[in-house]
Structure 1
Amino acid sequence: MNMLTDNDTISAIATAVGEGGIGIVRISGNKAVAIANRLFSSKSGKQAARIVSHQVVYGDIIDPESGETVDEVLLILMRAPRSYTREDVVEIHCHGGPVPLQRILELTLVLGSRLAEPGEFTKRAFLHGRLDLAQAEAVIDIIRSKTDASLKTAVGNLSGLLSTEIKHLRHVILSMIAQLEAAIDFPEEDIEEAAAADVAQLIIQVQADVDKLLATAQTGRILREGLATVIIGKPNVGKSSLLNALLRETRAIVTDIPGTTRDSIEEYVNIRGIPLKIIDTAGIHETTDIVERIGVEKAKALVKQADLVLLLLDASMPLAPEDRAILELLAGQQAIIIVNKSDLPPLLDFTALEQYSGNRLVVRTSITLGEGLAELEEIIANLVYQGQVSQGEAAFVNNVRHADALRQTNQRLAEALATIERGLPPDCVVVDLRAAWEKLGEITGDTIGEDIIDQIFAQFCIGK
């Protein structure tokens, strides 16, 4: 598959916007070396075109029109195909201020390159066969990783853990197609029946393998995007203190005055490698204050959208009507009940709590003393992984597009199995199997339209 018809040389700033010790301008394409030759003057007098591939050379960037020195730099030339894009690539490592970076980028554009589109370097790596589409998508996941666990998942997919599984399944489906097509070419009835029976068993095995991958999708999505977690409870029950304890630093306002948090505060929290996109909401209670009322209504809406709800109750207070109302909000939601202030004399009726909790997990904590937090983190980790092997040991599906393709693959396989069970001819089964094979190919990019590819790479940053 090669849709690369654009022979333009592209360039872009590959480092983050702002000041830094080092900034990088990246150039890729058949004019990359010639552009570097016009701009770069090495301290040894060697021209860029004569630099050995993959060696670092010290020198200056010179404006060819004015002869002015723009910056001292290190230049790395990576000749095709031993580069990220499999084209000639030049990287200019300069001082990391916006002015030298912009000046050098402008000079590359004047000398014949064009500004790269978002993700175009990685797109060229894909189109030149250096990466498949699942691996290319893992690049942006690495950039956006929020914890070590999400990074390991992304690196595993970049190294080809998921792609290897998908290619194996496609190979098995292709062997089924070949077996059925052989039976079509030799239409003796007993051969067709035997081939159909063999293929039916293989379909069941592939369905099981696809189901295993799909079982990782929820965990993979959470590792990639974060577990949307909402903290709810009455005012002054310890919601902001819990957020600060999980963050291990003070970000939310914590006071002894009820109703301090009037809006929601969103933070990412690292819980044993799992990124929790945690939202500390306004306390849910009856109020006449218009600002507080808006916050309360927003909290109720967030509960319905959450992956996980952490409900805080006060062990030193009886179960109030407001607590029971909050418990009713949890219907259909994954939730953990945290009974805080367990170091104080207990007044909470746990028997009454059981009647309203719906057999949900209950953790007793004293956030001020740091008690019960380790148990809470363990419970959250178990909910996310659900007994699966840890990331890095197997492929994780962490992309909605991939999960959707796998679900559609299983649907096509189910249709193929039903076709066999109805005793229809092998060529009808082949149609369903080929559809499943193509759906799996969408994950690796072997069978996907250019418009989808453009849409995927448009999510990348410029320079990657």
Structure 2
Amino acid sequence: MSDIIAAAATPAAKSALAVVRVSGAGCIEMCDRLFFPAGKKSASSCEHSKSVYGTLRREDGSAIDTCLAVFCRAPKSYTGEDTAEFSCHGSPAAVSSLLSSLFRLGARQAQPGEFTKRAFLNGKLDLTAAEAIVDLVDAETEAAVKNAAAQLTGAMSARLKEIYTLLIQLPSHFSALVDFPEDDVEPQEISDILAVIDRVKAGLRALSASAERGRIIRDGIRAAIIGRPNAGKSSLLNALLGWDRAIVSPLAGTTRDTIEEKLILGGVLLRLSDTAGLRETSDETELEGVSRAISAARDAELVLCVFDGSAVPGPEDEAAAEAALAAPYQIAIVNKSDLPAACHTPPHAERMKKLVRVCALTGDGLSELDAAVAELFTDPLPAAGLTAAITNARQAAAVNAALAALERASDALLSGVTPDAVLLDIEEALICTGQVTGDTLRGDVVENIFSRFCVGK
């Protein structure tokens, strides 16, 4: 990591500001040749971590831009190395000129995620915090922002450190039993070891249980709107989006294809599909739409089953309700609440998780729908003191592998297996726990993780 890297940390588009980052031993002295601070002799004479105004110049002395610059000396920087950061005007041409000057002076183009990778390798953050940066950039809901920020500020790291500290005590106990087999193992010793293992397993189980909530926070949930023709499904989609995405007509069967949109409802990101009305038909195009509607309901985690509250329920409503009940979660939505009700409760609605009455045209009842989704999908984290959820498959797999190793260790101790065999499971649990934070992760896996970051991060 002795070379100097540089990259734009903002998108290559016209904007108010653009940020260019530089990192590596000697990068501040290198910047003496292109940044000239107002009232200072050179970049290297600037105070640590204090912003300073100045001019960026090419090798021939011509100006590139004026900017604010911040210089940080190792190890008190984001990457743990000497760093420079220029906040200049958001001209892609000016940014390109600045980067070209840096490259001519000896820097090279940073690879995706290389700044954060250097921070990780220099011990400035662990892998859970590094991955949280990507989650924060990608966050689409307030819950996703909060979870990523909690991980970034060390919530997950602190919990894993507690677990690792307990685990690291165990090998010494087992080693003593292995090294001195002639000594009888006291029942209390085994009991004490099992107590520690149980504490660790409880912590790992809480993390494992948080993975499903973490997935929902990060990726959202697949949802589908289904119902009979002309129940108001497309009107509901438009009302939720706040704009006319779907064509609405008094003629039944207007929607024939699946319309997909993302929206936030109840603080949850929904990947929502509006579908064709369910009914018997001989029209081939409409029949394909009905088939796609059933498929969308089958693939959905949440089905919004829309009923026309002003119409007498029929076989189409029965079919829609049956399709909805096959999903893990469903909400019965009785639409057209502004019209006289034809019946009190639609078929099977009482079997669904929630029931709300709305008027898609006026927006009445949409706040109740918002609350219903929130109640279904914003459960608290599974353990007191756990303030961040696992949000990716890599973390979940490592936690589950550590938990499985400790389950084997517990079972083995209780069945009288020799300590040396149990020690292997304890060591595996240590390795797997370390994989979550990156302490015991292979270099190629680390490279793969950071390759998914943006350039400049």
Q: In 2, distance between residues paired with 1:49 and 1:390?
A: 49
Q: What corresponds to 1:321 in structure 2?
A: 315
Q: In 2, distance between residues paired with 1:189 and 1:357?
A: 65
Q: What corresponds to 2:7 in structure 1?
A: 12
Offset of residue 319 of structure 1: 2.2
2:98 to 87, 104, 128: 104
Q: Which deviates more from structure 2 when the two are superposed, residues 50-59 or residues 441-450?
A: 50-59
Give yes or no for the alignment of 1:77 onto 2:71: yes
> Is the CA contact (8 Å cut-off) linking 2:381 and 2:389 kept in structure 1?
no
- Aligned residue type for 1:165: R
2:82 to 59, 81, 88: 88
- Aligned residue type for 1:94: C
Q: Which deviates more from structure 2 when the two are superposed, residues 158-167 or residues 279-288?
A: 279-288
1:181 to 175, 193, 202: 175
Q: Which deviates more from structure 2 when the two are superposed, residues 136-145 or residues 395-404?
A: 395-404
Offset of residue 264 of structure 1: 3.5
Q: Which deviates more from structure 2 when the two are superposed, residues 192-201 or residues 336-345?
A: 192-201
Offset of residue 157 of structure 1: 0.5
Alignment of 1:34-433 (within 5 A): 34-44=29-39, 46-64=41-59, 66-187=60-181, 190-287=184-281, 292-330=286-324, 331-348=326-343, 350=345, 353-354=347-348, 358-388=351-381, 394-433=387-426
Offset of residue 246 of structure 1: 2.9
Offset of residue 240 of structure 1: 2.7
- Aligned residue type for 2:149: V
Partner-residue secondary structure (3-state), 1:196 = helix
- Aligned residue type for 1:117: Q
Compared CA separation, residues 435 and 307, structure 1 to 2 (3 A): same
Q: In 2, distance between residues paired with 1:81 and 1:63?
A: 29
> Is the CA contact (8 Å cut-off) linking 1:153 and 1:391 kept in structure 2?
no
Give yes or no for the alignment of 1:448 onto 2:441: yes
What percent of counterpart residues are identical? 39
Offset of residue 288 of structure 1: 5.4
Compared CA separation, residues 120 and 282, structure 1 to 2 (3 A): farther
CA-to-aligned-CA distance 1:118-148 (integer Å, 9 cap, x gap): 1111111001000000010001111111122
Partner-residue secondary structure (3-state), 2:202 = helix
Offset of residue 358 of structure 1: 4.1
Q: In 2, distance between residues paired with 1:46 and 1:338?
A: 70
Partner-residue secondary structure (3-state), 1:382 = helix
Compared CA separation, residues 339 and 19, structure 1 to 2 (3 A): same
Q: In 2, distance between residues paired with 1:307 and 1:245?
A: 21
Partner-residue secondary structure (3-state), 1:228 = strand
Q: In 1, distance between residues paired with 2:287 and 2:96?
A: 49
- Aligned residue type for 2:77: S
Q: In 2, distance between residues paired with 1:390 and 1:18?
A: 44
> Is the CA contact (8 Å cut-off) linking 1:183 and 1:192 kept in structure 2?
no
Offset of residue 290 of structure 1: 5.3
- Aligned residue type for 1:398: T
Q: In 2, distance between residues paired with 1:375 and 1:387?
A: 20
TM-score by structure 2 length?
A: 0.92
Runs of 4+ in 1 over 6 A off after TM superposition: 389-393
Offset of residue 287 of structure 1: 4.8
> Is the CA contact (8 Å cut-off) linking 2:398 and 2:435 kept in structure 1?
yes
Q: Which deviates more from structure 2 when the two are superposed, residues 16-25 or residues 234-243?
A: 234-243
Partner-residue secondary structure (3-state), 1:94 = strand
- Aligned residue type for 1:366: C
Offset of residue 324 of structure 1: 2.1
> Is the CA contact (8 Å cut-off) linking 1:180 and 1:196 kept in structure 2?
no
Compared CA separation, residues 89 and 289, structure 1 to 2 (3 A): farther
Offset of residue 188 of structure 1: 5.1
Offset of residue 438 of structure 1: 1.0
Q: In 1, distance between residues paired with 2:420 and 2:406?
A: 14
TM-score by structure 1 length?
A: 0.91
> Is the CA contact (8 Å cut-off) linking 1:413 and 1:433 kept in structure 2?
yes
How many equivalent residue pairs?
A: 456
Q: In 1, distance between residues paired with 2:379 and 2:314?
A: 33
Q: What corresponds to 2:451 in structure 1?
A: 458
> Is the CA contact (8 Å cut-off) linking 2:301 and 2:327 kept in structure 1?
no
Partner-residue secondary structure (3-state), 1:353 = coil
Q: What corresponds to 2:430 in structure 1?
A: 437
Q: Which deviates more from structure 2 when the two are superposed, residues 146-155 or residues 237-246?
A: 237-246
Compared CA separation, residues 97 and 240, structure 1 to 2 (3 A): farther
Q: In 2, distance between residues paired with 1:378 and 1:16?
A: 36
- Aligned residue type for 1:463: G
Partner-residue secondary structure (3-state), 2:74 = coil
Q: In 2, distance between residues paired with 1:23 and 1:409?
A: 43
Q: What corresponds to 1:25 in structure 2?
A: 20
Partner-residue secondary structure (3-state), 2:456 = coil
Q: What corresponds to 1:3 in structure 2?
A: none
Offset of residue 158 of structure 1: 0.6
CA-to-aligned-CA distance 1:25-47 (integer Å, 9 cap, x gap): 11111242133111112333521
- Aligned residue type for 2:113: G
Offset of residue 442 of structure 1: 0.8
